[in-house]
Amino acid sequence: MKRVGFFGGTFDPVHLGHLAPAVRALETFRFDKLVFVPTAQPPHKLGEPLTPFAHRFAMVALATQLNDQFLVSAIEAERSGPTYTVDTLRLLRDRFMAEQHFFLMGSDSFSEIGTWHHWEELLDLAHLVVLHRETVWGEELAAQVPGGLRSRMRTVEVLRDVPDAEGAQRLIYLLAHEPFPISATDLRERLRLGLTIHELVPPEVDRYIVKHRLYRQGGEGVYGS
């Protein structure tokens, strides 16, 4: 394979705000495969309620099943303790051999990359693709990341050709797609209040949430307890 992308996140639950940008990235960078990687125990969320991994993995699998270029990896469930992105990415590179690897993240996460465990090594392992979240973008985003990264940032228009990077240095691509103004936090709150989210998630995910009473009082998930 020439290009493989990895998209990490808690996906609690996965929604159109994840999927629409993922499709834009797939089309723009012409990935052979885009691998969704639900996190197991993200260090920055230790102690916070988190829906069991099996449910989150199942929802991502349902949400991506109709696109044969989308894959879902359970690699983080194979490890115990906090799971750091840099360690996961090393393992993913070995399992998905390609000429170029890319790691996708939202601009809100990228704005905090300086706090990540061994974040400098992350930039040695893959190019970054930063997805546009309406909470932070543009000059505000550039001001929040370590100064040494700014010279490596490139804005990319959707569906424009992205040539292979020259040299060994990994680049940071800011994908200028239209942001999708929803978040998993918003969806969990809507469900807690008994409101529907069927227009904001794939129908298979909506049915799964209803079946397992996730995020509701008395449901199976942590948020419902």
Is 155 within the bounds of a domain? yes
Is 37 in a helix, a strand, or coil? strand
pLDDT (tens place) for every residue of the chain, 225 residues total: 999 999 999 999 999 999 999 999 999 999 999 999 999 987 766 567 899 999 999 999 999 999 999 999 999 999 877 889 999 999 999 999 999 999 999 999 999 999 999 999 999 999 999 999 989 999 999 999 999 999 999 999 999 999 998 877 899 999 999 999 899 999 999 999 999 999 999 999 999 999 999 998 555 544 433
Distances (CA, A) of 203 to 110, 174, 199: 30, 30, 8
Tokens standing for 73?
């990896």
Q: Considering its fold, how many domains does the chain have in total?
A: 1
- Are 59 and 209 in contact by the 8 Å Cβ rule? The answer is yes
Is 139 within the bounds of a domain? yes
- Please report, for the domain that includes residue 61, its CATH number: 3.40.50.620
Instruction: Tell me which H or E stretch contains 55.
Output: helix 53-64
Is 195 within the bounds of a domain? no
Is 61 within the bounds of a domain? yes
Is 17 within the bounds of a domain? yes
- Are 109 and 5 in contact by the 8 Å Cβ rule? The answer is no
Which structural domain range is residue 122 located in?
3-181
Distances (CA, A) of 17 to 126, 133, 184: 23, 9, 9
